[in-house]
């Protein structure tokens, strides 16, 4: 599928083995003729990628995401079984600005760009999340277009399951709300408000205000 440049494992026959070999070119020709089958191959590749990550890191990949580092283990376990492995290749759009979607995405490997009104405003990397504004009900549709800048292994969590679990874990609900508030800030707030330039021109002063300020989401 061309998802990686080098093979991710060495396979050695331990007994007499009868192996069929399908070249990449032949596979691409078959997929071009039956494009609906591509999703099955991508799903298989995503699952293989997750298993590989889990083996290298010694734990479930759902618990390895940096977003969960400060969350309770019970919270991560509660949503783990409802996550779906997803794989996006470079240039593939994860979500379109202005469209409705009902999932939260967690990036475990890879990178993506975030664009608003056609202009790049941010980048996402391993450990980041996207889609939280719609999933939390803060926006009726996606506020930005997120595009994979390289092959991304992600996991998708349906909105219904997310809200159900967050109802039982208020601390984690506030954490996701905090991330959502930051996204809404750079999307809608003028730069002078974000940087407190309306208060003072002193960089040290504005940095201190940022540290002392508590964020509330209503």
- Average pLDDT by stretches of 10, the chain with 218 residues: 69 92 84 79 73 65 58 76 82 90 85 91 87 81 90 86 87 77 60 48 69 65
Distance CA 155, CA 52 (A): 15
What the block records as the tokens of 56 is 């290298």
Quote the Cα angle for 185-190-195, to 5°: 75
Distance CA 11, CA 141 (A): 45
Distance CA 147, CA 124 (A): 9
Contact call for residues 188 and 133 (beta carbons, < 8 A) = no
pLDDT of residue 214: 65
pLDDT of residue 5: 66
What the block records as the tokens of 203 is 């960089």
Stated as kind and residue range, the H or E segment containing 62 is helix 61-64
Distance CA 29, CA 105 (A): 31
pTM over 0.85: no
pLDDT of residue 115: 92
pLDDT of residue 151: 84
Q: Count the neighbouring beta carbons within 10 Å of the beta carbon of residue 80.
A: 15
Cα dihedral across residues 203, 206, 210, 211: positive or negative? positive
What's the number of CA atoms in the CB half-sphere (13 Å) around residue 149? 13
In the chain, what is the straight-line distance between the N-terminal and C-terminal CA atoms, in Å? 45
Distance CA 98, CA 87 (A): 22
Task: Find all residues with CB under 8 Å of 31, minimum gap 6, and list them.
Answer: 37, 38, 41
């Amino acid at each position: 599928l061309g998802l990686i440049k080098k093979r991710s494992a060495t396979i050695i026959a331990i007994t007499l083995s009868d192996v069929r070999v399908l070249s990449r070119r032949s596979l691409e020709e078959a997929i071009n003729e039956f494009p609906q089958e591509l999703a099955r191959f991508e799903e298989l590749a995503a699952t293989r990628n997750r298993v590989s990550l889990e083996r290298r890191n010694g734990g479930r990949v759902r618990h390895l995401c940096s977003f969960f580092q400060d969350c309770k283990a019970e919270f991560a376990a509660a949503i783990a079984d409802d996550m779906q492995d997803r794989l996006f290749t470079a240039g593939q759009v994860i979500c379109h600005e202005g469209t409705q979607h009902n999932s939260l995405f967690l990036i475990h490997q890879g990178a993506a760009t975030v664009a608003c009104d056609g202009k790049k405003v941010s980048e996402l990397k391993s450990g980041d999340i996207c889609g939280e504004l719609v999933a939390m009900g803060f926006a009726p549709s996606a506020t930005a277009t997120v595009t994979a800048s390289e092959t991304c292994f992600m996991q998708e969590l349906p909105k219904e399951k997310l809200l159900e679990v967050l109802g039982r874990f208020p601390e984690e609900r506030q954490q996701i709300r905090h991330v959502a508030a930051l996204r809404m800030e750079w999307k809608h707030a003028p730069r002078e408000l974000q940087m407190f330039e309306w208060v003072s021109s002193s960089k040290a002063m504005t940095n201190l205000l940022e540290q002392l300020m508590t964020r509330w989401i209503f």
